[in-house]
Structure 1
Amino acid sequence: MSSVSYEKAFKNLGMEPKAYLKKFALPIIGFGIFFALLMYVLLPTLFVGPAQYIPALVTVICFIFAFAYPLSILGAKASRIDNNMHYYITQMGSIATAETPRLDIIRIVSENDDYQELAEETRKIYDLVTVWNLSLADGCRFISKRTPSIIFEDFLDRFAHALQSGEDVKSFLFAEQNVVMNEYESMYNGALYAVEVIKELFVSMVMSLIFMASFAVIMPVITGMNAELLMGIVVVVFLLTDLVMVVFTKNKIPKDPAWSRSKLLTSDKLKMYRSIPISIAGCIVVAVLVTLYGKIETSIAVAMIFTPLVYTGYVARKIEKSIRRKDENFPAFIRSLGSSAGARGGVIDDALRALRAHDFGPLTKDVNNLYKMLVTRIDKMTSWEIFSANTGSNLIQRFSVMFVEATNLGGKPEVIGDIIATNFHRIVTLRKKRTQSAGSLVGVLYGLTGGIGFTMYISLGVVGLMQDMFSAVEMPPGMSMGMVLYTNVGSMDLLANMVLAIMVGHSLMSAILIRVVDGGHMLSATIDFVIMVWISGASAVVTMAAVSSLLGIT
């Protein structure tokens, strides 16, 4: 299995294994070995004891990277293909209703740039048929052996078999709607299960980092080590771990953005972008007021300064909620439009006029605007592009284009509407599961933030208490407190600020992680970020007050 994967990987890279070894792998490995030797020669005193393995570790990492790179590129390409398969099969099924020749179906989907690598793979099939005179079945089989996606590979094998057996292409593509959507659902559910595993892994790693941070605070009292250096290392390790988890989760989760990627500047986008300078101005004003007042705890002051960002998050989340409601209403709209247009001989304008009497929730206003654009003789495709951009939904944008394109080719609107509505509804159902998964993650991360704050600030409180107590103790002549404990561990204010930096950085990464899992806009993450910063600030104040009260510090 591994050799087959490497074979596909090198084909996708467009390189022979020997060429890859000479041009890429050997230089990387050589750099790792050279770097290790250079460190041992130039800094022999630095890398002693356990540290002597660090340069060698760089060499090992270079080895792993050189051999893992082709497979990682292959996996990333497979993921991008899989993330477009549900759109791909829906478009093919919609086009087929117009009795479009099978080679033209391949050509049309290959020209859709939204499919990225999937369009490239399909274009290769088209070129094999038109340039190299292969049959369509042979072209499909040729690409199926080289494509990194298992879902696409299986589809091409089934398509090739159907073509060779003489099965009607339209019937085959109709049947494939359910098959491919089932495979996409399995992939999606598998990714959501991976999120649950990542959640448990994240909690475990953060708990380990909490103990490491507590160790970095308390250990200098016992050993005399530089507390500020240790805490600096903890800050870097903590934030790097959070960043790695965000990147890892982003690679595992399906690329299914809720927001439209249209370049048209809609009223909702303007509203959201205008909220950004307002929030930033609010942060600056609060920062000035807090600085002038000067009697607020640092952790609370930081939370207050970031609070105006909630406005941008609120605007983004309100728009996002409207987008999700429109997504829920779109299947009913497109199915009704298809049925109505089919009954009127395929005339979309007349069907839309009849549908204006119906209520499609938040989508009703956009439907009315679409009808107005069509009756004023604005270009049909442009009207639908404006309609989909105004809804703000990525799903509506992608499926609306398919509907218009297929009906323009002479397809049956009622069949097209039914195909799109069915597949659309299944995707919306999967998205609801994803939202639920993100919702459970929110509770975990909020609780984890409070736990981090409590543990780290109680460690700071205890160290501060010990430093104050023992510095006030008078020792007999000839004895030093340093013989027992190291009372000078550095500036407690600096250590507290470093802990606060960890809390703020962790809050930011956690907020981004929630949005990565949720699939929403990153600007709506500011609400979660501000809430977690407030949890951090509150835990700091409450914990330090509790430590002072319980241990009798005045």
Structure 2
Amino acid sequence: MPEENISIFVKSDVSPKEYVRRILIPSIFGSLIIFMAIMVFTRFFVLPLGLRIFMYLIPTIIIIYAVAYPYLMADSKKISINSKLPYFITYFAVLSTSEIGRSDLLKVLSSDPKLGAIASELKKVYIIVDKLHRSLPEAFRFLARRTPSRVFSDFLDRLAYSLDSGVDLKEYLFQEQQTVMDDYQTFYEGALYDLDIFKEIYESIIISVVFAAAFIIIGPLITAQDIGRLALYLLFLIVAAEVGALLVIKYRMPEDPIWAEVKVETPRQRRIRRALIYSLIAIPIVGLAYYLIIRPRFPIPTPFVVALTLTPLAYVGNVVRREEAAIFRKDENFPAFIRSLSSSLAASGASLLLVLKYLSAHDFGTLTEDIKSLYRRLAVRVDPQRAWDFFIAETGSWLIGIFSEIFRESLRLGAEPDYVGKVISRNFERLVRLRRKRQQSVSNFLGIILGLTGAFAFSIAASFQVAVSINDLFGKLEVPTEYIGDIIHVIPPSGMAMLSLVMLVLMVTHSLLSAMAIKVADGGHILGSLYYFVILLWVFAAGMYLGQHLMAKFMNLGGGEAILWLLG
């Protein structure tokens, strides 16, 4: 069956009946109701053109989302499959050496929630083989034509051909890993390249928004428009651009989280929770100290006051950063531990407990204490699975978690220890190298955000100061209104106060969304964004101060005198 004849509903696992009943029809009716409500509302109330356009965009976006829903689900499923391919091929390869049959092997793979969309795809293969009694190659070819992932489809086609040819599954999967990991590396590096391209697009967007902001701030002096309404338009424009950038990063980057999904509470979680409580308590304390001690003695610009008050949030962000650095160090040591553990099991034929006792006396860097704790819990012989859960939780690493479960389950099902250790360590090291590339790319992204934040703050503050200076100048002119009333317009103090407030909200919003984009890009804990949030607040505050202060000098001194003042 040609691939182009496969429905998008099949590839996205969306039932057409359920889609029409739960997505399409409610969206159409909801959009019509909203559209009619907007028409009635605008007949009785006069609204600005920009606000009316925004209101009519709401039902339009709902309709577009409903139509694109199956394609969005298929794309999301494709990204999930591509992101989980390394773990799937590792698990599949090590289980191929176990004593279970192929049907049971598929059942084990299809019931593992950590494989995400791949598990649901393999469930179809298991049903075809076990319930419909079709051959395994035929089931693989059936799925290959219906999966949205090209990489996964090619793997299934190659696997079906090899099984038809009588190739040994263990040897084939050992060799095939290289091909699948190469494909995954291409996918991963492609996503990083997309991030590099997006940096340029993001930079262009911010520059365009800065130009728009300058016109919005200065424009009311000429057009007599309501500066409060234009300030809200500016805020909406910038927030929309920032949220759009955040969503693009979230849905284009591969699913590669740093933190493990823990089933038990660990000292690491308690430290983070305690740091969060301390940070939240410190915010009102710092604010109170400013108003009682600092404010009466030193006049500090409002942006610096906001940054100072929110600075305690950097503490919890820094705690999360240190914990993530410790997790990265544990990831570096895990392949050596798995190689030593598996080779010792294969060479000695001893139990896992005895080998762990021997290895716990060796140095595996920051992983040593976790290995000793694992041995002590297994030695109690109460609940081995719970002991591994504690090991995963204490390391805190998502990579260590999923590969540890693959190792434990493979040994339980009778796989060859030496083969298991070789496969896991090789694939694990490759994923760690890809993560290093990701961290380098995110570091470059952080540098761009810091530079753009300073330039952005400088530009809007300079524009604001120009508006303030011109507004003061116009306000002092003693010219009859009938002569120049249609040429120059004075902004009332309430309008300037509103613009100042919007700039402060913009400062906090831009810093927060940009910090979240950094953590979404590197796959880290969202609380780690608070560290960058505070840094961006101070950069924004400094940019605003410099922009407003320098522009005030230019406006007061004149161009030539201002240059001489800058040169000292």
Q: How far apart in 2 are the matches of 1:49 and 1:236?
A: 15
Decide whether the 8 Å contact of 1:216 with 1:231 is kept in 2.
yes
Query: SS in structure 1 opposite 2:556?
Result: coil
Q: Residue 319 of structure 1 aligns with which residue?
A: 323
Q: Residue 89 of structure 1 aligns with which residue?
A: 89
Q: Residue 7 of structure 2 aligns with which residue?
A: 7
Correspondences of 1:211-230 after superposition (within 5 Å): 211-230=211-230
Q: Residue 494 of structure 1 aligns with which residue?
A: 498
Could you give the per-residue CA deviations for residues 363-402 of structure 1, whole angstroms, max 9, x where no partner exists? 1111122222222324322222211110010000100111
Q: How far apart in 1 are the matches of 2:478 and 2:467?
A: 19
Q: Residue 202 of structure 2 aligns with which residue?
A: 202
Correspondences of 1:257-276 after superposition (within 5 Å): 257-276=257-276
Q: 1:314 to 1:41 in 2, by over 3 A?
A: closer
Q: Which runs of 5+ in 1 are unaligned?
A: none
The code of the aligned residue for 2:509 comes to: G
Q: Residue 42 of structure 2 aligns with which residue?
A: 43
The code of the aligned residue for 2:206 comes to: V
Moved more, 422-431 or 356-365: 356-365
Q: Residue 445 of structure 1 aligns with which residue?
A: 449
Q: 1:422 to 1:288 in 2, by over 3 A?
A: same
Matched, 1:67 2:70: no
Q: Residue 378 of structure 2 aligns with which residue?
A: 374
Matched, 1:142 2:142: yes
Q: What TM-score do you get using the length of structure 1 for normalisation?
A: 0.93
Report deviation, 1:227: 0.7
Q: 1:215 to 1:120 in 2, by over 3 A?
A: same
Report deviation, 1:528: 0.7
Overall identity of the aligned pairs, in %: 35
Q: How far apart in 2 are the matches of 1:506 and 1:52?
A: 26
Q: How far apart in 1 are the matches of 2:545 and 2:374?
A: 55
Q: How far apart in 1 are the matches of 2:192 and 2:251?
A: 12
Q: Residue 281 of structure 2 aligns with which residue?
A: 281
Q: Residue 180 of structure 1 aligns with which residue?
A: 180
Q: 1:9 to 1:501 in 2, by over 3 A?
A: same
Report deviation, 1:334: 0.6
Report deviation, 1:456: 0.4
Q: Residue 306 of structure 2 aligns with which residue?
A: 302
Moved more, 269-278 or 168-177: 168-177
Decide whether the 8 Å contact of 1:140 with 1:156 is kept in 2.
yes
Q: Residue 485 of structure 1 aligns with which residue?
A: 488
Could you give the per-residue CA deviations for residues 221-273 of structure 1, whole angstroms, max 9, x where no partner exists? 01111111101111112112211210121000011100111121111111011
Report deviation, 1:4: 2.9
Report deviation, 1:432: 0.5
Correspondences of 1:499-538 after superposition (within 5 Å): 499-538=503-542
Q: Residue 128 of structure 1 aligns with which residue?
A: 128
Number of aligned residue pairs: give it: 552
Decide whether the 8 Å contact of 1:438 with 1:517 is kept in 2.
yes
Report deviation, 1:103: 1.7
Q: How far apart in 1 are the matches of 2:48 and 2:228?
A: 23
Report deviation, 1:419: 0.4
Matched, 1:344 2:348: yes
Q: 1:525 to 1:21 in 2, by over 3 A?
A: closer
Q: How far apart in 1 are the matches of 2:99 and 2:53?
A: 67
Matched, 1:100 2:103: no
Could you give the per-residue CA deviations for residues 330-378 of structure 1, whole angstroms, max 9, x where no partner exists? 1111111111111111522222233234321111111122222222324
Decide whether the 8 Å contact of 1:102 with 1:169 is kept in 2.
no
Decide whether the 8 Å contact of 1:110 with 1:123 is kept in 2.
yes
Deviation beyond 6 Å, 4+ runs, structure 1: 47-56
Q: 1:410 to 1:533 in 2, by over 3 A?
A: same
Moved more, 102-111 or 58-67: 58-67
Q: Which runs of 5+ in 2 are unaligned?
A: 558-568
Q: What TM-score do you get using the length of structure 2 for normalisation?
A: 0.91
Q: Residue 413 of structure 2 aligns with which residue?
A: 409
Report deviation, 1:62: 5.2
Q: Residue 236 of structure 2 aligns with which residue?
A: 236
Decide whether the 8 Å contact of 2:266 with 2:394 is kept in 1.
yes
The code of the aligned residue for 1:487 comes to: V
Query: SS in structure 2 opposite 1:206?
Result: helix
Q: How far apart in 1 are the matches of 2:518 and 2:50?
A: 38
Q: How far apart in 2 are the matches of 1:513 and 1:329?
A: 29
Q: 1:50 to 1:92 in 2, by over 3 A?
A: closer
The code of the aligned residue for 1:167 comes to: V
The code of the aligned residue for 2:227 comes to: A
RMSD: 2.6
Decide whether the 8 Å contact of 1:10 with 1:70 is kept in 2.
no
Decide whether the 8 Å contact of 2:14 with 2:70 is kept in 1.
no
Matched, 1:385 2:389: yes
Q: 1:48 to 1:89 in 2, by over 3 A?
A: same
Report deviation, 1:551: 2.4
Moved more, 310-319 or 59-68: 59-68
